[in-house]
Amino acid sequence: MAYEILKSTLVSCIFVGFAYLPKPKQCPSNMPYESFEAWNTTKAAVYATLINLVVHLLTDSDLFYNNFIPNFDSSAIIYAMLLPIVMNTILFFGEWVQFFGSKTRDFREFIEDIFQHTENMVKFKFYISAPAVEEICYRGIILNLFLNSGDYTVTQSILISPLFFSVSHLHHIIKAMNEDSDILKREIAQRIFQAGFTWLFGVYSGFIYISSGGYLLAPIILHSYCNLIQIPHLGICFSSDTEPILRKILLGSYIIGIAVFFCLAFQL
């Protein structure tokens, strides 16, 4: 039991620690500064993930081969790809109703914002690299440590393992330590909320991972999809600026999506 906690802590420390290693400070003249920062962050995360995989291979080789050497079953892979897309679309049904069925959010602008400036490293980091490396470390390594330990049930593993993913986001508070007290308090509040939200996402991602048959592709796709949608925009359902009939339609859409999602989840 202690081994899983210690190794999970080590994985998280390596992953977060690489973000604080010295990075190039001179931004190339032909690259936007945000892209430069995203590129440095991406490199650090990739290096940290490679180190974690090597450590995992050296300390738990059987577990490594079982979890990271894929079984090329085409039907299982297709299922693992479709599962997170279908389940997340149902869960976020209210969001898509907002996009397609109301004037409160412009779907065309939403899509254009995602795909414009595709060379921008920020989008690559947000939708591709971050989901991949985080799921490899926190689901591929940490969740499987708990699942294969024999000391935890599947439910306990799904609930406990995301705590490391959640706490790893609190390090951002360090950047605000030199700010005034109001900014620091706001940063702490935001990061605590983020930690709670990421724990909830980690539970969801772990559930999808296990339901897919242990294909890491499933939580990676889910993670990218959730980064795309972000936090549900429920405020519009209760805003006085929204027409009453539209509020009812949107709120009903969210309720239907959540209800159908849990009905299906219990069948997986």
Could you read off the pLDDT tens digit of each residue along the chain, which spans 268 residues? 789 999 999 999 999 999 888 877 777 777 777 888 888 889 999 999 999 999 999 999 988 888 887 677 889 999 999 999 999 999 999 888 887 765 555 555 555 555 555 457 788 888 899 999 999 999 999 999 999 988 999 999 999 999 999 998 888 777 767 667 777 788 888 888 888 999 999 999 999 999 999 999 999 999 999 998 877 777 777 777 777 888 888 889 999 999 999 999 998 8
Q: What DSSP designation does 147 have?
A: H
Each as own residue / partner, the long-range contacts of residues 16-23 (CB below 8 Å, 24 or more positions apart, any chain) are 16/168, 16/171, 17/48, 18/44, 18/45, 18/47, 18/48, 18/51, 19/44, 19/45, 19/48, 19/171
* CA-to-CA dists, residue 235 to 30, 86, 255, 257, angstroms: 40, 24, 14, 17
- Domain map (residue ranges) of the chain: 2-265
Burial zone of 63 (CB within 10 Å; 0-12 exposed, 13-18 middle, 19+ buried): middle
